[in-house]
Chains A and B, each alone.
Chain A
């Protein structure tokens, strides 16, 4: 197999072509509705994908936010390119050993799904070439581009899509590798290594959605398929492996089809509505009642191959359905799933007859739609897909699904959708600028990892985690302040990820603010004010309410209060569990421990509790005689 990656990383340097903040916003200040039209490219040609999309007459509703201005609204030309973003791009080019252009040209890449108000994404090629070595294998870098992020999609209807302008214009650094990767695991490792390089610049955004990968996968004998916008690193290997399996399966089905002499007739689809007037299929009945139509086509030789697959969830029938859906129908029905979905055996037989489909050997596909044209176009798309099934795996763009599968989204865009951004003059990149970048190169991630392991005796996994979270500086600063390594490592690798996911709020961005925020709570633990188990509780409270440690301690009930004496709590628990102690003797320790911890968790550390409890329990057992047997 061949796999190439495109890593897209949001930079935390404001926006690329205006002075707005790059922080996403929940506040909506207004909205406007637009359309997009297919335009001619620089040679006078129109991108067919763009024309098809524009012909659908969709409307786009844009929400303005406090971090969007006339530039994002496409009401003002882009300002000059953000020099900080360019510096990050040049830094990565240096770290990867890429060859930088001498003059940067901003291009418009046509995107007419409305996700850019302008109808294009601004993008510039910064460098080509270079390499990255991961676990002894070297993977080539094909290009480094600087581009602007698109709008956030808020909602989608039949004729209108709603987008928010807050994300539009955030700089994205796109690093594309050559198709040198040979496994899903390796794809994961390379993505992680590139992510580490990016974080080493300290100018990248963190959190979900701030880094997105496109995976270009081709199985042996298969074709290039682009899985677009994978947000979770841990899913990369699954998507790659699944895609390879999908392509292998499609090739196996192709061979089976060829062996059978399967073919796809050219003729028009057939109106089957009269045959299905009385059907108990809800889907079909509903469409017919509303004046719609059911049409069908026969696929000779395809019988049994639409619904069967060795790869779970990857059937040829599903591929066809995805293509049909892209033409505006809700779905299709095919012979391998009929009778079924309310279509009876008798109706199935009649359809077979009407379409001239031989039993078992041939397949047929039905599309129902209130709009006659949609049904016919959907079946046209199905026939196209069936034809492709006899040839090869189609090159296409697919969307990742949360379960590790993918779904067809559109054919790969043509190469001819680039147009120069005439509003931004070409930007010279002088040698002096490159030298300056070279002088300020960040430490390589491997070097940092080694230092964390050797100097601070962190285990490799912890070191990796701190590196990946871009918290090395914070870690080392807290150590320099005299806090113990174990405590600092614990809070950075265990507590913070938990707090961030539970509180659903970003941690203070940047290492200095992070240190400033963490230090008081860690000092309080060191001073014995509360146990380290209470850290996540206290810090979460501080994050959500912006409180200082003392206030947070009181609010979560960790501040010392009268009657909270450990010995007293232990005695109360022993007293309340007298029967249990009689029954189980010294093995009652573990359930009792649970009861005590439930009352002191976070305030006293577990070891102290266990020691005291054991002592008191032993004392109690020693003082009781065997005559106190229950039931006596």
Chain B
């Protein structure tokens, strides 16, 4: 039981102790009357300022100076029963269309989130029906089994979750899903996509990762068309790969399909943040209607038995080379790791003090891979002297493999082998579309489907 609340509390702390949603009337000395409901206090805010939702719907913060009168009004708490919110939309989901079933695995993130008064930001919605309710037409193409696998911000998702997701994907296909959609926060979505692809070499259908750059609590969220497009790809496309489906441009029309091992988030905020590096997107579609276009080299649905190769080593690291990077700092950073991917400058260069360290480390059994921090283009040891020196020191040049995919691949391979030579060979060869010997002549695509 809570303490009985005085009907006219006069201390800010007494007000803050009232249950959020309490109906209040506040009058500071000589001032106006403010009527509304108490809001939960933000943990970091000034304790003398109470937060009130006024009857007009506006929120305000009011300082309770000495002499303020506060009256607690009878009536239901705001946001709990009828007043002033309206009835919740019915929990019943619309009937699904007649197409084949797919599975939607949710991990949290922007695709389902709502305001969180305690922190002031947005936080994920936990209930599954809340997700389906936000996406009109989600079930039009056929049944969607929704499974809430994780409830995490994407920045917290790592190797353990990659394994769990691979198992969930595998189980979904075994249970009869025609395709699997994974909703994921966008920050690390590309890492998870690559990790799933390495773990699941033979897929009977598409595994589509999708997210939203504008949260679903906004009428302008890109999440709706991204998710609807992703479910279409999962259900309809003849595709046996892990892909990412997101906006191809600023508009809500065209969506791009990116290969998991090539995609990268290239903008902090734009809807078309996701781009394929060193190749055109794998395909595209015009949202909710029209054909799904795929590149000829897209892998079709596999008839091989599904195989799942989980396991990531914690002994892999990714290091960004920059002017002034000291040997000591790099040594500290790579303490105890068995392999490191360098995001080197240009075609794959590092400052001279690093060369000796690389030589020594490789001799001691550590793997050193070289990628380019330019992101677009390949590394090449032969053009400049430093490249040749770096190669002579024992580093492995990784072609047009992106630094992040290289890191995921290294972590995955380190779990499977400790033979440095085999590791080096595997890292440099194409396993899942992550490395290509040729890059086509076209401008670096800003965005958009092929």
Residues of A within 8 A of B (CB): 32-46, 48, 50, 54, 70, 73-77, 99, 101-105, 107-110, 112, 117-120, 123-125, 128-129, 143, 145, 414-420, 422, 425-426, 428
Contact = CB atoms under 8 A, between A and B. Distances in A.
A32 B136 CA distance: 22
- What does DSSP make chain A's interface, helix, strand, loop or mixed? loop
A418 B121 CA distance: 16
Contacts of A77: 269
B79 A43 contact: yes
Interface stretch (B248-256, B324-332, B417-425): B248-256
Contact of B270 (A40, A42, A75, A425): A75
Interface in B94-114: 114
B218 A118 contact: yes
B42 A128 contact: no
A161 to B, nearest CB: 14
Contact of B59 (A44, A73, A76, A420): A420
Contacts of A38: 219
B59 A105 contact: yes
Contact of A416 (B57, B133, B136, B224): B57
B63 interface: yes
B61 interface: yes
Contacts, number: 155
A127 B432 CA distance: 60
Interface in B252-282: 252-253, 269-271
30 contacts: A32-B250, A32-B251, A34-B220, A34-B252, A36-B220, A37-B136, A39-B221, A44-B130, A45-B87, A46-B89, A54-B219, A75-B269, A75-B270, A75-B271, A99-B31, A101-B61, A101-B62, A103-B46, A103-B60, A105-B58, A118-B219, A119-B219, A128-B34, A416-B84, A418-B58, A418-B59, A419-B115, A420-B59, A420-B117, A426-B61
B402 interface: no
A105 B61 CA distance: 7
Contacts of A36: 219-220
A125 B56 contact: yes
Interface stretch (B47-55, B161-169, B194-202, B376-384): B47-55
Pairs of residues from A and B, 7 with the lowest C-beta to C-beta distance, nearest first: A103-B61, A119-B219, A418-B57, A43-B85, A129-B32, A105-B59, A32-B251
B126 interface: no
A488 B214 CA distance: 55
Nearest to A77: B269
B252 A426 contact: no
Interface string B62-104: 1100000000000000110000111111000000000000000
B89 A42 contact: no
Contacts of A40: 89, 114, 130, 133-134, 217
Nearest to A417: B57
A44 B88 contact: yes
Of B56, B78, B130, the most chain A CB neighbours within 10 A belong to: B56
B321 interface: no
B152 interface: no
B225 interface: yes
Contacts of A428: 46, 49, 61
Of A40, A50, A108, the most chain B CB neighbours within 10 A belong to: A40
A157 B207 CA distance: 39
A35 B225 contact: yes
Contacts of A73: 250
A125 B60 contact: yes
Given A75-B271, A422-B121, A426-B51, 20 more contacts: A33-B253, A35-B224, A37-B224, A38-B219, A40-B130, A40-B217, A42-B115, A43-B86, A50-B219, A101-B60, A103-B51, A104-B60, A108-B218, A110-B219, A119-B218, A125-B56, A143-B56, A415-B84, A419-B115, A420-B117
Contacts of A42: 79, 85, 114-115
